[in-house]
Structure formats: structure tokens, C-alpha cells
Structure 1
Amino acid sequence: MPSEATELVSVDSPVTGYRIILPDDWTRLPLRHGTEDAVRRILDEALSRVPFRASTGQASDFTRQLESRFRGVVAEARRSGALDLYLPVRKTGTVNLGASLVVSETLLPRRGESDAGDPTDVAVRLLSRDGSRNADLSSGELDGAVAVRREHVVPADAGRGAELASRRVEYLASVPGDAARWFLAAFSTVGGGRPDDELADALVEWFDAVMATFRWRRG
């Protein structure tokens, strides 16, 4: 049964947040407030459901590795200034770090409505700031707002804890009523070990279906 996930954005605007529908096994971690409580809850729940049959030493190693990787993912999302991090947590207690969804907000310098430029062009420029090449770009709408979708492959980077290349899909939408505010939903997956395998393809299709449920929350 799908569940609804919501985060309010504390900015004075007709739009006060967003709604998306995710499966029950996806858990939201707020990154502005209450992050440590959410991290501890997820780790405690995950570890309580794992039937350790190994020695106490092996169990402790597993616990440390899981917590280190999990906190690393959360820290990376917080460094980017994100609002929310979503991760799949299976009923067995397994925290799957092979896929994630990060929601954030991008602000442009407020130079007045006339200087904002065409929203689609602005979105493309914003998504191209990191210099990614060979990206698949397309434009459309999210709940009536101008949006751009970008899909590309992010190379492995062991120095940042990314041992495998990942497939990344981003939706960037102009927040209605405020030309300086942009909503960004970034999905990432390593698939079954390769960003172009069948599992990665299926997960990208799934994420596109999730974004079809996107709605603005208004005050």
C-alpha cells in the first residue's frame, strides 16, 4: 500500500511544501530538523531485525559498517543543503543503500521577475552547473509548473565513498509564485552493480512513476 510523504518548506510563498507517493518500504529522513533521531530510529530498527548467526565480533563489525555507510549517505545529503533524504528500508530490516532520493531547494538571486529569464532555460542552466556531459534532458511540467528532467551516469568516486558508478535522474521544477525558487528531486541507483543494467532501468522507470504523483502543497 503506497504512503504519502510530505515536507514543508519554510519560505513565505503560496507553495508551502510538496507531496509524493512512495511505497511503504521507503523511509523519509528530514535533514533540517530531527535528523539524528530519525537516523537512530532507522538503525535501531534495522539492526533489531537482523538475525545474527555469526560471532559477537562479526556482528559488531557488521553494525559498525552499516552505521558508517548509512551516516555517510546522510552526511553527504546534508552537505548539499537538502531538505529530505528517502531510502528503502525492507521489512527484514535491511537498509538498502543502493538507491536513494534526495529532495532539495535551489534559490536564484532575486533580481526581479523580468530578469528571471525563461523558466525552461533557467532550469537547464541550473542542472548543467556541475558540468555533466552526455546527459539526457527533456522538459515538461510537474503539477502545472515548468520542469526539466535530466538523466546521466555519475562515475565511481572511491574518495567520496562511491565504489560503483550510479544512474542519476533529476527533476527540477519552478516553484509557482516565486521565480527565484526551484524544487529539485534527485534519484540515484547503482542498479544490480552497473548503472545500465536491467535493475537500474526498472528503478528509473519506477522513479518516473513516483514523480507522476508529485503535487505542490499550498498554504
Structure 2
Amino acid sequence: MTSAFARVPADVPRDKLARLRLELERRLRAAVADARKAEALELYLPMRLAGEVNLGASIIVSQARVPAPVVSGVSAGDLSDPADVAVQLMADGEAADAEVSSGEVDGALAVRRERVMSAAPEQGVELASRRVDYFVSVPGDPGRWFVAAFSTIGAGDPRDDLADALVEWFDALMTTFRWSWT
């Protein structure tokens, strides 16, 4: 976190810098707490400037299980078929205001959903953000899905050039994702 303040001008008063550090620490702790509540497996937050640009972005990696209901005469595998789950993800109410597509990631069925989330100051969300979610079926486990959720504020506008570039980077990252079994 110290490196996040490496470029602060020398004329910034120490008391203001201390408040900024405390606020950054509070926000980081809140992000980690939110990720824990969501049972995230990984949380990625860029903390360094890229040149003169602060990369306001995050990636949360988690997994989702699709419970297979018990229905007589139907096998559990038939009820959690990845194609059926993908159709449900694409028809989900959250997909109404989103761009949704399906395809494959390393041979596994995947659904990509992109949308702009409005600011919600009452919830501590001061800026609108652009969110891209990838839901990828786990090979050999039809009820299990890998989820990678990317979010960015761009340079303050979720549809600006920086946001476009970061979304393009995340898409490139996901297209190079490979399963590895140990």
C-alpha cells in the first residue's frame, strides 16, 4: 500500500496524507470483506499507477454450484447440463440490461455478460462502473462453474477509452485461460 502513495507531491500536508491512507485502507478492507462474504477464491486489485494513470479495476474469482434437484426418473447430470445452465444465465433478469454472449473458454462452455452498473452513493459506490462476468463450466463437473468478475471505472466514465482498453485486456486474459489439473 505504501507504493500507492509514492507519487504524492511533497507539498501535500501530512495530516491530509494520513487521512488518505486511512481511507484507502478502509476501502481495501471493505473490498476484502465483501469478497469473503461472496466466498471469493481470489481478489485482484491493482495498486500501482500505470504511468500517470490509476487503474481503477478489480477481478474477483469464485465458483458457483448449481444444485441438481431430485426428480424421479431423471438423472442429476441431466438437470445440471451446462447448456441448460448457460441458457438460464443468458435469460436471467440481470441479463436484460447487459450484453450477453456464449462461447468456449479452453473447450468449456462459457457465458460472458457485460453491463454498466450505476453509482449507488447510499451504498458507498460513488462512481458508475463497467462489469464483465465470465461464467465457465468446469469440465467433468456439470454442476460447478468458474466465475471471473471484472469491474472498472475507467478514467471516471465506465464507457471511456481506458475502460474499453481494460475490458479488452480482461477479454484477452480470459481467452488465454487454461484448465490445469493437479
TM over 0.5: yes
* TM-score, normalisation: structure 1: 0.71
* Residue pairs, 1:37-76, within 5 angstroms: 43-46=1-4, 49=6, 53=10, 54-76=12-34
For each residue in 1:176-201, what CA deviation from the matched residue of structure 2 results, as whole angstroms up to 9, or x when unmatched? Answer: 11111000001101111111111111
- Identity value in percent: 50
* Alpha-carbon distance in 1 for matches of 2:142, 2:32: 29
The alignment yields a C-alpha RMSD, in angstroms, of: 2.4
**Measured at CA, do residues 113 and 163 of structure 1 come closer, stay the same or move farther in structure 2, by a change above 3 Å?**
same
**Measured at CA, do residues 51 and 154 of structure 1 come closer, stay the same or move farther in structure 2, by a change above 3 Å?**
closer
**Match 2:41 to one of 74, 83, 101:** 83
For each residue in 1:152-194, what CA deviation from the matched residue of structure 2 results, as whole angstroms up to 9, or x when unmatched? Answer: 1111111222111111111101101111100000110111111
SS at match of 1:190: strand
Query: Which residue pairs with 1:114 in the alignment?
Result: 78
**Match 1:208 to one of 171, 175, 180:** 171
Letter in 2 for 1:102: I
How far residue 125 of structure 1 moved from its aligned partner, in angstroms, is 2.2
Letter in 2 for 1:218: W
How far residue 91 of structure 1 moved from its aligned partner, in angstroms, is 6.5
How far residue 104 of structure 1 moved from its aligned partner, in angstroms, is 0.5
Query: Which residue pairs with 2:151 in the alignment?
Result: 188
* TM-score, normalisation: structure 2: 0.84
Letter in 1 for 2:79: D
**Higher fraction of helix:** 2
Q: Greater RCO between the two (CA within 8 Å, min separation 6)?
A: 1
Which structure has the greater CA radius of gyration?
A: 2
How far residue 72 of structure 1 moved from its aligned partner, in angstroms, is 1.8
Name structure 1 gaps, 5 residues minimum. Answer: 1-42
Letter in 2 for 1:105: Q
Name structure 2 gaps, 5 residues minimum. Answer: 70-75
How far residue 130 of structure 1 moved from its aligned partner, in angstroms, is 6.2
